[in-house]
Chains A and B, each alone.
Chain A
Amino acid sequence: MLKLNTICLTLLIILSLPAFAQQGTLIGKLTNHKSQPIDGASIRIAATTKGTLTDKNGLFFFKSLPYGRYTIHISAVGYKTKELQINLQEKLENSLNIALTENPNTLAEVQIQGKTVARKIKETGFNVNVIETKRFANTNTDINQILNRSTGIRIRQQGGLGSNYSFSLNGLSGDHVKFFIDGIPIESYGSGMSFNNMPVNLAERIEVYKGVVPAHLGSDALGGAINIVTNRDKVKFIDASYSYGSFNTHRAALSAGRKFNKSGLNLNVNTYYNYSNNDYRMRTNPKANIYLEVPSKTVPNQLDTIRSARRFHDNYESFMTQVELGVHNKKYADIAVVGLTFNQVNNQVQTGATQEKVIGGIQHSSNSFTPSIRYRKEHFLLKNLSASLFSNFSTSKSIITDTSSINYYYWDGSTFGLSKTQGELNVKSIRHQKINNSFSQVNLNYQLRPQHVFALNYNLKTNDREEYNEIDPYNDTFNKTNRITQHIVGLNYQQILLKGRLNNSFFLKRYTLAGNSTANDNNSNREARSYTGYGAATNYRIIRHGGVKLSYEHAYRLPSFTELFGNGIEVIGNPNLEPANSDNYNLGLYYKFHLKDHAFSVEASTFYRNAKNYIITTRYSDAERNYSYSRNEGGIKVNGADFEIKYDYKGLLQAMVNMSYYNAVDRARFVEGTNREKITYNSRTPNEPWLFGNADISTGFNNLFGTKHTRLQFNYYLQFVNNYSLSWSKLGDKRTKDYIPEQWLHNLAISYSLKQNKYHITVEGHNLSNEIAYDVFKQQRPGRSIFVKLRYSLQSFK
């Protein structure tokens, strides 16, 4: 790692060489009518390419400005635009104090707040993508589809709406990436809460932390974390939408909030409903070595290949509603609310792990109830101490029914074989699972000085699970009970130095895991373990709009209780299991510039991960018995890079292009516990896309054809995934290798907005060229599809 550190340091030194300043400097401060600083306002000097944004103290400055007369444009969302004439002269104090007046007709507060939070996050040294979801609000997308456009992220989904997915972030995937909603781990909301069905309209922004995760997201994330920040605690806000489209897909979402200032009450509602038949066409595709074989209708006991068939057992339905009621701006609390979340998912299962296994009878349904409380107070006990608290308890029930007597289904819906005892995946069962989760979180923030902030975070998670088979309740195979408790303490210190140019964070995380398992023979197991993780992140702004970010974390993924101690039945415990750990490094560069009316923003980053002691679960199956056992094994080394370029022309045309690349290789030279060299040593890990990118172009026109307060917006979005191998690409003769072909998916959306962005109608086409695209284990994705979305939105702060 010495090499990496040296390179980083050299880069830092080179980039920090001082720029020559030979001319005058203009310094200014921007405030509102209450003399409070305005953060994030745009300051542009007319007839030049120079522009800047104010910092959180409302300050801005221009260096190297030749003396002379200038016109300065000042604009901030929520304020009236202002123009100023100045004369920059030698020996004069070239500093300005400018006050802006609020514009009551705009949505000032929220937008400034949103921008501020997003910018504050970006100003830390973390390698983070902050996606403001506003621009996707009119589209028929869920959170996953938006994340898929972001650098470093690849979501591989098995099929249509609601289908299983696998998330990869900079080459680390599965359990190694953790998900949060408003800083709360998603699993604490019970089963069914998932990014694959959550409509975009519920989220205000999405934060993607790559490799290095701040301490306030208290979880064991080895490869990074995703945090969805929802709309809430607004004065008056409503966003309602409904869309209908291909495969009989219906999606409705409502997100609303209201603060009653007189009574101090406030109410937040988030709800959605999704339904789809997902009956898109599956196709034979010799290019990908896919053939849909069905029993011949003419010759008995033979198979015929058909060109295509519709999926026939893939209905999906999900419903979620979350209501929060409470008070705000009281002496004892800035916000104190109680909430209730309900979630229901019903879905049919169409395939096994690969599309060769067709399923026609298995159903899955689950629901969960989650009551919660949330409290926040600035100046808690001390003047500079703020506190927030969250706690919830979820009860989830899920039922998987596998009682079809039919042994095999084919893609044309025909069947084959009957069995009295066998279901499609295992012996016939109606498997009930009951999971209780509790989660509590306390955050304390102490600001010693504005430049020095300490944060302490404590998370307590408990999880217990019971299972049984309704058909055969006395069969112990499905009976198990176990309970796990997880404590995570995080400590973060943030310092802002050199007048805001240097932003450092240092953090420490302590994980403790304790558990208790009771098997059918009433034997109990109790154990506890602790581990410590740590890291740091720094952002150094070298020039006005450009800088460098560095971050590091020694991160953990803890073994689960079942992995450690077994469940007494088919999972054999391994008490010697160590947590998987990874040393994650990020180096990022960012730069923004204007060329007349053309604004560019460039971000590029490179990263290295050294993930050791991967927890691998091996499944042994036999006609007599099925069981699994987890062990530590090798791990991977990943290095890679990504970049994103954004372009804006006078706010009329926006374009974005990004590309991500990584190389994840097996890092262990020998098979664990032997002196046998691994055949995959230093080879790229299979079944994961390693080169992918996105391009996005938007343009819009206001008040077309003489209409008032309308806007027509076009968006074209291209998704590219390079081909990749299903198995270790070096192993086996090249002629036998199966690749997932490269994909170029074209998507188009046209939106028409009326009455000052209150009403919207959008027509959207996905996969316009009807390309046969595949994902995880070569599961075919939907072909061309069309959706229409209607949306009503209103925000007011009065």
Chain B
Amino acid sequence: MSIKLKKHIKVAALLACTAISISSCNKTDKPNDPAPIDDKDPKYAISYSTKNGSFMLPISDLMKGTISPIGTGTDVSSIFTWEENRIQKGKYFYHLDPNASKFGKYVLENGIVQIIKAIPLNTLSNLYLGWHSWLDEETLAFGPRSSNEYTIVNVKDMTIKASGKIDTGKDVPKDHQLNLYTFLPQGNKILIGYSLYNKLNKVTYDTTYTATLDYPTFNNFKITGKDLRSNPIGPLRNGYFHKFKENGYTYLLTYPMPVLGGNKPNMPTGFFRIKDGETKLDPEYFFNVSKLRNGDNQLGVEYLGNGKALLISANDATTNVKEFDDWWYAVMWEYLIVDINTQTIVKKLDFPLVSNSRSAIVDNGKVYIAVNDPKADAIYIWQYDPIKDQLTRGAKIVGGDNDTPMLFKLK
């Protein structure tokens, strides 16, 4: 049957059906038309979930208009199947799909997410990532949650460069396992921060360890330090902000909280630091943030420059967390700006208690946060100007649910 004829039949049938169809419901207003997006060359992007899938949308102006997945962006529900496994570098996104065991490279260009290449990945026994670290512009290391495994991929040609388990020699007993939380390249060495897990009694010790390894051989494991002030030295789940460099030091945020972190409820959230060239934690420095917030825990959001970092802090988790899920969905979080030099809370941003968030971007000295207040009619981007100490409400993002929206700066 010719295509033309098929079309005629379809049109005729549709007309016939429509002719006798009764439209019995009143037409209601369409949702607001989204603001036009300069999708040729977007500078920012947002990824957030809705009741109808997760979307990644380009944003040209963070401060104006309405951003909506109606007619724009990409439904990434089947691309970035496990959001914590997504790693960004500029306009490129990498993702390990735990359902298909594939590691893919994607680009957000012309307003949409497109695949560049995917490779099968069979080097990790657990495909839920706990950490990643860029060794250089095109070399990416990553590993699973609570594990001693790693894989290194050249993301330019998407080839696997190295993989394995960290060989601890005789320094760690056989019935114990190193669980890696920090991976810092330092010249021809890798400095790692880890916890020790006893496989016999299934207990993770409170001690934070540091050690060094030769790169790229991963030989010559040497324990360089032990610390009992907080644990673990990094997030349990990949994608949570936890390290930045300033004035010759690398600052590392600990994640002791249950569910989102290493489950050490009696330990504080705080910053350790390591001086460049050193191989162990600065014994004189620990910024105990929990102590300033009545013992509550914090999650990292973004480094703002000049010794400032944006954190999100649970407000009275003892009361607000009644079940497992509440760590994600309880409306109990507040935004704090902390100073790692003066070890003080500089500012609590003036929002009501909101849902969990771990994403912000910094541009021209201003910080942009996607704030998810469940009582608001949408997620809004808020700009905080630290110089003027001013909060301004920006673009409206429609359709978001109670999951964390993620903002990205593409260039």
Contact = CB atoms under 8 A, between A and B. Distances in A.
B72 interface: yes
Contact of B21 (A303, A416, A639): A639
A669 B51 CA distance: 13
A408 B30 contact: no
B165 interface: no
B99 to A, nearest CB: 7
Interface stretch (B11-19, B264-272, B284-292): B11-19
Interface string A705-737: 000000000000000101000011011111110
A625 interface: yes
Contact of B55 (A303, A625, A681, A731): A731
Interface in B1-54: 1, 6, 9-10, 13-14, 16-18, 20-25, 28, 30-31, 39, 50-53
Given A4-B24, A639-B22, A639-B25, A302 B119 contact: yes
Residue in B25, B102, B128, B160 whose Cβ sees the most chain A Cβ within 10 Å: B25
Interface stretch (B312-320, B359-367, B398-406): B398-406
For chain B, the bracket of interface size reads 35 or more
B72 to A, nearest CB: 5
B120 A416 contact: yes
B377 A676 contact: yes
Interface in B366-403: 374-378, 398-401
Contacts of A679: 31, 50, 52, 68-70, 398-399
B70 A731 contact: yes
Contacts of A682: 28, 30
A728 B52 contact: yes
B16 A625 contact: no
A616 to B, nearest CB: 9
B219 interface: no
Contacts of A744: 1, 6
Contacts of B378: 676
A637 B25 contact: yes
B250 interface: no
A608 interface: yes
Contact of B145 (A623, A639, A731): A623
Contact of A680 (B52, B120, B128, B375): B52
A408 B101 contact: yes
B398 A676 contact: yes
Given A640-B21, A643-B16, A722-B10, A357 B75 contact: no
A671 interface: yes
Contact of B374 (A417, A674, A693): A674
Interface string B83-122: 0000000000000000111100000000111000011111
A497 B74 CA distance: 60
Nearest to A642: B17
B112 A735 contact: yes
Contacts of A681: 28, 31
A164 to B, nearest CB: 19
Contact of A677 (B31, B55, B99, B159): B31
B262 interface: no
Interface in A403-438: 407-408, 416-417, 419
Contacts of B68: 679
Interface of A: 1, 3-4, 7, 293, 295, 301-303, 356-357, 407-408, 416-417, 419, 585, 587, 604, 606, 608, 610, 620, 623, 625, 637, 639-643, 659-661, 669, 671, 674-682, 691, 693, 720, 722, 727-728, 730-736, 744
Closest 4 CB pairs of A and B: A679-B399, A661-B17, A4-B24, A641-B21
Given A1-B24, A679-B50, A679-B69, 5 more contacts: A3-B24, A408-B120, A608-B24, A659-B17, A676-B376
Interface of B: 1, 6, 9-10, 13-14, 16-18, 20-25, 28, 30-31, 39, 50-53, 55, 68-75, 77, 99-102, 111-113, 118-122, 125-126, 128, 145, 159-160, 324-325, 374-378, 398-401
